[in-house]
A and B are shown apart, each in its own frame.
Chain A
Amino acid sequence: MTHPIQREHLVVIGNGMAGCRAVEEILARDPAQYRVTIFGAEPRVNYNRIMLSPLLAGEKSFDDIVINDQAWYDDNAIDLVAGDAVVSIDRAAKTVTARSGRVTLYDKLLIATGSDPFIIPVPGKDLPGVVTFRDMDDVDAMLKAADGGGDAVVIGGGLLGLEAAHGLSLRGMKVTVIHLMPTLMERQLDEAAGWLLKSALEGRGQTILTGADTAEIFGEGKVEGIRLKDGREIPASLVVMAVGIRPSTGLGREAGLAAGRGLHVDDHMVTSDPDILAVGECVEHQGQVYGLVAPLWEMCRALADGLTQRHTGYTGSVTSTKLKVSGIDVFSAGDFSGGEGAEDIVLRDASRGIYKRVIVKDDRIVGAVLYGDTADGNWYFDLLKKQEDIADLRDSLIFGQAFAQGGGALDPNSAVAALSADAEICGCNGVTKGKVVSTIEAGACTLDAVRATCKASASCGSCTGLVETLLAITLGDDYAGERETKTMCKCTSFSHEDVRALILEKQLKAIPQVMQELHWTTPDGCSSCRPALNYYLLCAWPGEHEEDPQSRFVNERMHANIQKDGTYSVVPRMWGGVTNPRELRAIADVVEKYEAPLVKVTGGQRLDIFGIKKEDLPAVWADLNAAGMVSGHAYGKALRTVKTCVGSDWCRFGTQDSTGLGIQAERMTWGSWMPHKFKIAVSGCPRNCAEATIKDFGVICVDSGYELHIGGNGGIKLRGTDLLCKVETEQEALDYCAAFIQLYREEARYLDRTAPWIERVGLDYVKARIVDDATGREALRQRFLFSQSFSQIDPWAERAAGAEKELHQHIAEIRPFAVMETA
């Protein structure tokens, strides 16, 4: 082996994404060819610049985004000179000089200096508080500013600006985005998608000003705001300039290298000096400069091949863009400007906020813009790059790969199997399907192993589902799957618990978004996962949640129980089983007026009116409302009844006011949606006439207070309750009840009653959370009451007042036609 000193010396300027990737590629081909020194202006190791956005948003830490840690430099004997920028190149002497004065000889020099953020030359641009968004120092500056809250202005509504705005707004700043053009991200998105994006961001509390031109940044000694050319002033303690980037070519130009917008390079990334190479955003190849990472991976491969005598050559890149704002899915690729001979295929689904547009020319895809549903982005991009003939797919193209290739929707694996080997799986790390598959074949048979070996899915994680599918396809029966626990349903590889955790972590707020982000393998889920997701979302985001009625089982959609003949039964709430003449009269009237065939006392201490037609429901409810009655939720995965006995007011054995406590409990808990139905009972003494020991939450009153029981079930599998604890006052009984319900709401799987849930997590766990941890109990109770402040609205009253009346009406009547026909 050559002694390190005798090897050729490769000096790299720029410790960024391209510089380090180039070194990795070279080492992978021949670890012994060069002695490597890397100069980096930034005082740190190499990290994933594109992940600065999630870092700013608080979704990642610096450690998470490091690509190569110090150990990598050490292991490969790379001399990292971090925090010392190169200031000049002497081509004749073949040396570089750093700011510190250090002079280094090179045999080969690689310039990978990236880009500089463009600063618009307005007054005030140098004020403290004006930052750009390019490196870790910028993010630190923004985080420091965000600590104090206040107003931020982001100039530039492109990819970078919007990601900065998103991060700052998650960090608690009030953000205004100033964009010169009429629509956001106009280079990547067409007008329709730009508009959808704008309204989505506005919905999240950002102010977006389009067609707005900055005149000046003002402030005494530090930024206080900006003034637009139309005179408007916007206060701000932080101004982020994200208006564009310029290739950083200064060093090369001064050294006399040929340059246009970027440093000129040939197909092997060699500049006009044969010993100097350049790669990344600072180069111009065949008239093109790039501002995204995908081309740079390709450049680095060509460069390493060239240096190690394999002359494959770089041929330019087609790029695609995704916006990294959690919960907003935007994809764009190629040319969407339309023009001569171009034809649009468009799909819009306003209710789901989806917009897809594929631009086709001569039976080839030339561009695609996807908003709201980007699952097929990679597929369109793949067809575009390959210039595949899509004539046969044309009619179904817009519905996506699964649909277009027929039957695929039911088999997620076939869609992934159909991707070509060079289709990109992991955008963050530039890993192709072929690479993932060969990594798996070489022995990486778990997700973690794949992540560790080829880095796919190791950054933002949005391709995890794809990688898992590849594991499944490649390993077949040998793939054990990552997770011990059962998946939610066949539409996903995640368990209930995973999904709930991810909803919180990724701030997922709508079902299509969950399906999008968690890679649901079916287009719109199934009848098992949709109701579960709707529940998980409403539980996670009280107050913000938007109901998805189509994901509710019919009973919860119609607020009544469907019967075998398609009619409905109606059960008004009867608080604690207590009623009065007015209520009884109203029920009697309804039975007569709507000719209900049956009225019956239920096992839950109230009255059930049977045989009501869906058309009559709103009128029935209006009549019941008029007598002060609200929905009994006898149809819901929700609080059902609170059974009580007469208690101390009347009964000779009664120890406490069980009826009163039951009514208080029902008033506190009615309207709450749960993983399954939830029943409460309060008995006045241990004779237990209200059967409290087979309820989800039962109270047995005793002389000295209240015994609280949980996890009972009188249904299919009888289970007596467990004693949770004993408390002394009514208020405590109610507080524990609220806390227990919230724990169940937050942690049980959808369709688990309390009984199986407690059997699974154990009584001790519940005691630890509710009895032993007073602070935690109070927090649970508060969360329950907060959520109740949004859910104690009588759904019947809304319907009786005309809401969603179409659910109760036919779409049309054609009886006259039918009669004519028979005539």
Chain B
Amino acid sequence: MQAFTRLTAAAAPIDLPNVDTDRVIPARFLRKPQGSAGYERFLFHDVRFDADGKERPEFVLNQPGFRGAKIVVAAENFGCGSSREAAVWALAAYGVRVVIAPSLGDIFHQNCGKNGVLAVILPAEIVAGLRRELHARPGATLSVDLEAQTVTAPDGAVHRFEIDPFRKQMLLSGQDDIGLTLGYEAQIAAFEASHRAAPPWLSAAP
């Protein structure tokens, strides 16, 4: 996994609440292999492109200043719905490294961390303020520092965010958490031995 430390980059505002992962990547692209060529085109495909494959000018990522943004500033419950990790793969393929929102779908939130995408949760008023600033000054940059847990707005205001220390550590190191867990082999084996002994039906092999 790609490590994340800090990033200063253009950010795109997405104002709609409850942006679901079907919108982030429509179902028909889920049979394309992870990381295959052209994956970035699947991102927001049906709201980003028209039936002829031409850009829809009203979509934020097609607008000057927002095209190629590496940070997305979203609204409440971004990434809700389907567990499809392809939503994060498409964001990452496009180049997005940070998603800032007042809240995120729980599974999407988890999926971000597994793919080197930093999810930042900030209070709704602050996030709405960031989106307003970005609308007013397309192309303005945000600075995100994971070590310091801060987002610096275009106007210089610094917002501190909370993050699960575990997620933070994995992102900073770019470590694979399966590798970490395999280090717990002794505990897992011991758990399996006692768990099986207690309620035998639970781990009954089908």
A and B bind:
no
Query: Chain B: residues with CB nearer than 8 A to chain A?
Result: none
